[in-house]
Structure 1
Amino acid sequence: MQSAYKVLSVVGLLAISVLWGTIVNAQEPIKGQHIYVCNQGEATLSVIDVATNELVETIDLQELGFSKNAKPHHAIADADGSHWYVTLIGENKVLKFNRDNELVAQAELEVPGLMAMHPTEDILFVGRSMSAVNPPQSFGVVNRGGMEVEEEVDLFFSRPHALATSPDGKFTYVASLSANQILARNTETGETELTMLEGNNHVFVNFAISPDGQTMVATGQVSGKLLVFDLSDPLLPEVTDTISVNAMPWHPVYAPDGNRVYFANKGANTVTVVDMESRTVEKVIEGTGLAQPHGAALSADGKYLYVTNNNMDGTYNPEGKSEKDGLTGTVVIINTETLTIEKVIETGMNSTGIGTSNW
């Protein structure tokens, strides 16, 4: 009898153990943050693990049936990291990958460029590529679930490029490369307002909006300026500051606390750090690996800044390689506490857009 009792006890403990394991596994947090990099010159995508700051996978788009001229340009991911998205300029496609980097769906959209994500609805806003000579005067609204293009919203200007969505998802902003024009759109009602700025054309590369939704910045490729907008009236952004920076400021990103803005200077091989409280340049970062810097993304805790580099002019020369081996793009990892370069990861030819979870 005692033996039978012991057997039943062991079986019971095993059952409890299995059940507890199932519960714990069910409650495990979502895997850590990944950084996604577009290598536009060779039709590959690089995946970096934020926990280790290591390159963990390179995805060859040709192996997935796309051409060597696919031109992956920009990436962005869902807040929970379950899926991520890439625009292909050369294929007129927006791709959707799952967490395991498997292609699960795609949408067709002419010369797609930058993307912005609605924070609460299953919507992806998709702009047009800077490299397109005469792109459609519109931006796409894509349902992320089924990857269906729900709408192409008409604009009032040519060559749309810069694109951002407010943190609450209520407003979307698009700017022209060919004129100082910014369209603000209420995403719920469809109401729009066009803002036109005086003076020479800045050639707006992209926007970034503060976490509290009160301020927006825009980088001017030609003017070498960072423009600061007050969004008190979301449909009518008002310029409150213009900050002179190094040549060709590119894609800006806000720190999680809103106190800083970071962006690359493609024409100066530097990264600029702007103090948003004083509205002044806090530091200009230089160093190995910064070679035509392009895009910027942050770790969720704001500790690391990841900057892609085109390196199409050979400014960065990988150790042990010659020019005949090809020009290697990089991701430079900057510690935002010390504002110094911690690591350089070699990615692929002409690394351009970079993205991560919509934290």
Structure 2
Amino acid sequence: MNTPHAEQLRVVANIPVGAKPIGVAVGLSDVYVTNSGEDTVSVIDPSTNGVSATINVGLRPEGVATDPQFGICVSNGGDNTVSMIDRSNAVIATVSVQDLFTPPPGMMRVAVDHFLSRAYVTHRGSGRVSIINLSDEVFFAFPFIDVLGPLGVAVDPTSHRVYVTQPEFNAVSVIDPEPNGVIATIPVGQQPIGIAVDALRRRAYVANSGFNIVSLIDIDTHNVADIDVATGSTGATVDSRGNAYVTQFDGTVKVIDATSGSVSATIPVGSQPAGLALKPDIGRLYVANSGDGTVSVIDLAGG
């Protein structure tokens, strides 16, 4: 995908979804959005820029991740579960992350390692990252890894290491899948939430909600650089060229240029943008606006 000049980046649609949308993930054909205010997932058809289906899930769905073989995983912070959805958009299982310990409802996110067929589920209230094996016939959230106050989560598909933000500790923990433990903790900015990994360039972008910087981590050395983005950030994603996109409290998406490491464009979107996801085959970026119940569609291909 070729990213156009800054002046070509624009919102081409604002799609009404459910109340308080937070998470966004793209599948092989559709886009999935968690509506935390009404316990549903909206399915967006990119060809029409409209909602083609609504899926009932658990209480207060927040995170969402897709897997091309299995389907969709939705983390429900209101009842400490994960809704497992197949590729026909049917809920086939609901997995509890409580085990013998019953944590209070809390914020949850999810990321998938496609190669290892694993879903990693963070639960901020319990201080755990649970692992769900997507290749099992019966799903269990076990084993789990202790991480204090985990929230945002991203997987490096090359090393299969998992990067978890810890808002209360201004840090990112690194989990190695063998032997399923934390191998490093990296100091970043204040109150980190979203994180995105650029595996090709060995980088991770961390959206810090408590200050006006995005932390850029070298995931091989764990060195950290600061990128000034003017205000607090919540979500992050990265494209194939290494350009990063972060959602901002001021109702915008900032574009961070891969070469200069600085902001190259600011794109106005809806109110209180949160999660975002890129559909590279059509050059579109989908942004969940939790404040107004919409998804902004940004054309990155200059069409």
When the two structures are superposed, what TM-score results if normalisation uses the length of structure 1? 0.70
Secondary structure of 2:162's partner?
Answer: strand
Measured after TM superposition, the shift of residue 32 of structure 1 is 4.5
Measured after TM superposition, the shift of residue 169 of structure 1 is 4.9
For the 8 Å contact 1:167–1:213, the answer to whether it is kept is no
Name structure 1 gaps, 5 residues minimum: 1-30, 130-134, 312-327, 343-359
Equivalent residue in structure 2 for 1:123, among 102, 118, 121: 118
Letter in 1 for 2:231: A
Name structure 2 gaps, 5 residues minimum: 1-26, 99-105
Letter in 1 for 2:244: V
Structure having the higher Rg:
1
Which structure shows the bigger proportion of residues in strand conformation? 2
Paired with 1:56 and 1:269, the residues of 2 have a C-alpha distance of 26
Residue in 2 aligned with 1:35? Answer: 31
For the 8 Å contact 2:28–2:68, the answer to whether it is kept is no
For the 8 Å contact 2:130–2:145, the answer to whether it is kept is yes
Measured after TM superposition, the shift of residue 293 of structure 1 is 0.6
Structure 2 vs 1, CA of residues 99 and 88 (structure 1 numbering), >3 Å: closer, same or farther? same
When the two structures are superposed, what TM-score results if normalisation uses the length of structure 2? 0.82
Paired with 2:285 and 2:194, the residues of 1 have a C-alpha distance of 17
The 5-angstrom pairing of residues 313-328 of structure 1 reads 328=292
- Specify which structure has the bigger relative contact order, considering alpha-carbon pairs within 8 angstroms and separated by 6 or more residues: 2
Identity of aligned residues (%): 24
> How many residues of Structure 1 are paired with residues of Structure 2 in the alignment?
268
Measured after TM superposition, the shift of residue 264 of structure 1 is 1.0
Residues 1:269 and 2:251 aligned together: yes
For the 8 Å contact 1:163–1:174, the answer to whether it is kept is yes
Letter in 2 for 1:242: D
Paired with 2:241 and 2:282, the residues of 1 have a C-alpha distance of 8
- State the superposition RMSD in angstroms: 2.1
Residue in 2 aligned with 1:251? Answer: 235
Residue in 2 aligned with 1:153? Answer: 145
Residues 1:165 and 2:160 aligned together: no
Paired with 1:331 and 1:187, the residues of 2 have a C-alpha distance of 34
Which structure shows the bigger proportion of residues in helix conformation? 1
Residues 249-272 of structure 1, C-alpha deviation per residue, up to 9 Å, x if partnerless?
A: 1110011232x111211x201111
Residue in 1 aligned with 2:15? Answer: none
Structure 2 vs 1, CA of residues 89 and 190 (structure 1 numbering), >3 Å: closer, same or farther? closer
Secondary structure of 1:284's partner?
Answer: strand
The 5-angstrom pairing of residues 283-294 of structure 1 reads 283-287=265-269, 290-294=270-274
Residue in 2 aligned with 1:301? Answer: 281
Residue in 2 aligned with 1:19? Answer: none
